[in-house]
Amino acid sequence: MASRQAVKAVLIDLSGTLHIENTAVPGAQDALKRLRQTTVALKFVTNTTKESKKNLLERLQRLNFNLQEKEIFTSLSAARSLLEQKQYRPLLMVEDSALEDFNGIDTSEPNSVVVGLAPDHFNYETLNKAFRMILNGAPLIAIHKARYYKRLDGLALGPGPFVMGLEYATGCTATVVGKPENTFFAQALSDLGCSPNEAVMIGDDARDDVGGAQAIGMIGILVRTGKYREGDENTINPPPHLTCDSFPEAVEHILMNLL
Amino acid sequence: MASRQAVKAVLIDLSGTLHIENTAVPGAQDALKRLRQTTVALKFVTNTTKESKKNLLERLQRLNFNLQEKEIFTSLSAARSLLEQKQYRPLLMVEDSALEDFNGIDTSEPNSVVVGLAPDHFNYETLNKAFRMILNGAPLIAIHKARYYKRLDGLALGPGPFVMGLEYATGCTATVVGKPENTFFAQALSDLGCSPNEAVMIGDDARDDVGGAQAIGMIGILVRTGKYREGDENTINPPPHLTCDSFPEAVEHILMNLL
């Protein structure tokens, strides 16, 4: 650790790391409190596309996590920024519960396709509509490309397989705005006043959380909760800085070794 | 053509080559008659997974094409052979109209996944069921991996994008039984008593019909009907032996140059 700066910021994944659906990871609330007693800046970064920022905040507060809306940075926010910047009118394949994060975006005569985790839209008819738009030149924007996620009843398909399908069908490549993209982590850190090598990312997804963060020079910590499956730490190169049982253990490591 | 044998067999694609939905390609019936007046053996080879052999035969006969059921070789037949050989019990993601080609196959407690063109099954719930089975070790069998196909109302997604999605989600690779697999063309030719370099394939899909056939040494002719899009002939290497406007022109070329 000698060549590394002391850590100034910690980015924390939500689903699978702090909670699984409506259940908090044991000890996670207290671990978050301990982190807040230090000087590190915190941000909660998530690829969860089913929920608006406001919904996420309410859910976490119900589970007794102490955080504010402005500390949450989601892949929906990143998508909205891109739509505004390019002045695209999207066909929004996102769940109804996520729509409020796109309030005010013009969706008439759509000329772009935005794909999130949207089981209600993942049917042949809607996918075919998106396919034809992309063939006719509409850009494909993926909130993220996660292969699957953890539900209470087991693993379930993420948006990634459907984005891949549209890419394969059309020969186009999606612009991904969520984790593990460099731009996502850079945007999340942008108002925290620190460089990537002064920041830690904690998450349950080896590729999207840890691999993505490490690719721009952050320290990545993988937790064995949520979607974690045995051996996941061996699927990325370089491997995680640390793999540990759960969020409280990750916090303990930061407090003891990285400040 | 000096080093090539005279052609002894012609494999002919159905949808997009002889007909588009319930409309015959103009002149195709007469062209087929002319081919029947020669000594070449014929086989009708198709990746259409929506219809059983019997349905395909009836449809073609209604359009006044002269052919017999035993001349039809489909990707469903190839899938059934594989299931029988490996004694797999499949989750059959194929349209109801194709189910009769799997009569007698045990589908209780499925331990494999078969994916055809099945818009009714391409919803989140069924795809998720398949995803979980594959994660638990069930092999994934794809009738074929076509990116899209031609409907009367335009291009529409084929099974390929959904197979790709399941491959991406699970990290597994599908066993493909239809075109453009070598084994498909070899099986189609197996009872015709000729080697690949004595056979021609005529179809509207550059990759699946022409590329696949040429990969085992056949002569490939691409027709500009059905799913053909301008420039398709440049997407495969080597390019088609010939690209022509439609099936009758392909037959004319064979009669004049390849017998």
Same domain, A135 and A166: yes
Under an 8 Å CB criterion, which residues of B touch A? 119-120, 122-125, 127-128, 131-132, 135, 147-148, 154-158, 160-162, 164-166, 168-171
Same domain, A205 and A113: no
Three-state secondary-structure class, residue A10: strand
Residue A85: its H or E element: helix A75-86
pLDDT at position B143 is 93
Same domain, B163 and B225: no
Same domain, A84 and A169: yes
Nearest by CB to B169, which of A154, A160, A166? A160
Rounded to the nearest 5°, which phi and psi values hold at B9? -145, 150
Same domain, B171 and B195: no
Strand partners, A74: A46
- Note whether residue A65 is domain-resident: no
Same domain, A139 and A209: no
Burial class of residue B95, CB neighbours in 10 A (0-12, 13-18, 19+): middle
Same domain, A168 and A114: yes
Distance CA A220, CA A212 (A): 9
CA distances (Å), origin A247, targets A70, A203, A212, A224: 21, 8, 18, 9
Compute the nearest-CA separation of A198 from chain B (Å): 33
CB-hemisphere CA count at 13 Å for B236? 23
- Note whether residue A245 is domain-resident: yes
Distance CA B45, CA B13 (A): 5
Q: 0.80 cut: is pTM over it? A: no
CB contact under 8 A, A132 and B155: yes
Distance CA A124, CA B127 (A): 11
Are B215 and B180 a contacting pair, CB within 8 Å? yes
Exposure b/e, A74-104, CB count within 10 A at least 16 = b: bbbbbbbebbeeeebebbbbbbeebeebbee
CB contact under 8 A, A128 and B157: yes
Compute the nearest-CA separation of B248 from chain A (Å): 29
Distance CA B22, CA A148 (A): 40
Strand partners, B149: B156
Which chain A residues have a beta carbon less than 8 Å from that of B146? none
Instruction: Pick left, alpha or beta for residue A79 (phi over 0 → left; psi -120 to 50 → alpha; otherwise beta).
Output: alpha
Compute the nearest-CA separation of A148 from chain B (Å): 6
Are A189 and A196 a contacting pair, CB within 8 Å? yes
Which of A176, A210, A240 is a domain's end point? A176
Same domain, B95 and B110: yes
Are A187 and A178 a contacting pair, CB within 8 Å? no
Which of A127, A151, A176 is a domain's end point? A176
As for how many domains chain A has, the answer is 2
- Note whether residue A171 is domain-resident: yes
CA distances (Å), origin B73, targets A70, B81, B111, B192: 61, 12, 26, 12
Are B215 and B196 a contacting pair, CB within 8 Å? no
Distance CA A51, CA A40 (A): 27
Are B112 and B74 a contacting pair, CB within 8 Å? no
Tens digits of pLDDT across chain B (259 residues): 445 679 999 999 999 999 998 999 999 999 999 999 999 999 999 987 778 899 999 999 999 999 999 999 999 989 998 899 899 999 999 999 889 899 999 999 999 999 999 999 999 999 999 999 999 999 999 998 989 988 889 999 999 999 999 999 999 999 999 999 998 998 899 889 899 999 999 999 999 999 999 999 999 999 999 999 999 999 999 999 999 999 999 999 999 999 9
Q: CA B88: distance to chain centroid?
A: 22
- Residues, chain B: 259
pLDDT at position A4 is 64
pLDDT at position B49 is 77
- Note whether residue A198 is domain-resident: yes
CA distances (Å), origin B114, targets A9, A156, B124, B162, B175: 48, 19, 16, 11, 10
Same domain, A241 and A171: no
Distance CA A169, CA A174 (A): 12
CB contact under 8 A, A164 and B166: no
Burial class of residue B215, CB neighbours in 10 A (0-12, 13-18, 19+): middle
pLDDT at position B1 is 42
CB contact under 8 A, B122 and A119: no
Two tokens at A124?
């042949």
Same domain, A19 and A85: no
CB contact under 8 A, A157 and B122: no
- Note whether residue A33 is domain-resident: yes
pLDDT at position B2 is 42
Same domain, B83 and B151: yes
Are B227 and B209 a contacting pair, CB within 8 Å? no
Distance CA A138, CA A237 (A): 34
- Note whether residue B68 is domain-resident: no
Q: Which residue of B126, B128, B176 to mutate against A (max A Cβ within 10 Å)? A: B128
Print the domain residue range for A42.
Answer: 9-47+180-258
Q: CA A73: distance to chain centroid?
A: 8
- Note whether residue A195 is domain-resident: yes
The CATH number for A114's domain is 3.40.50.1000
Chain B's closest residue to A151, CA to CA, is B128
Nearest to A165 by CA among B218, B53, B122, B41: B122
Distance CA B43, CA A137 (A): 38
Tens digits of pLDDT across chain A (259 residues): 445 679 999 999 999 999 998 999 999 999 999 999 999 999 999 987 778 899 999 999 999 999 999 999 999 989 998 899 899 999 999 999 889 899 999 999 999 999 999 999 999 999 999 999 999 999 999 999 989 988 889 999 999 999 999 999 999 999 999 999 998 998 899 889 899 999 999 999 999 999 999 999 999 999 999 999 999 999 999 999 999 999 999 999 999 999 9
pLDDT at position B3 is 52
Nearest to B19 by CA among B8, B10, B31: B31
pLDDT at position A61 is 96
Two tokens at A223?
């937790």
Strand A140-142, strand A175-176: pairing? parallel
pLDDT at position B97 is 87
Helices (H), B13-110: 28-36, 53-62, 75-86
Three-state secondary-structure class, residue A76: helix
Same domain, B144 and B197: no
- Signed CA dihedral, B197, B241, B215, B69: sign only: negative
- Note whether residue A2 is domain-resident: no
Which chain A residues have a beta carbon less than 8 Å from that of B164? 161, 164-165, 168
Compute the nearest-CA separation of B166 from chain A (Å): 6
Q: What is the DSSP letter of B229?
A: -
Strand partners, B220: B201
pLDDT at position B4 is 63
pLDDT at position A62 is 97
Which of B142, B160, B176 is a domain's end point? B176
CB pairs under 8 A between A and B: 80
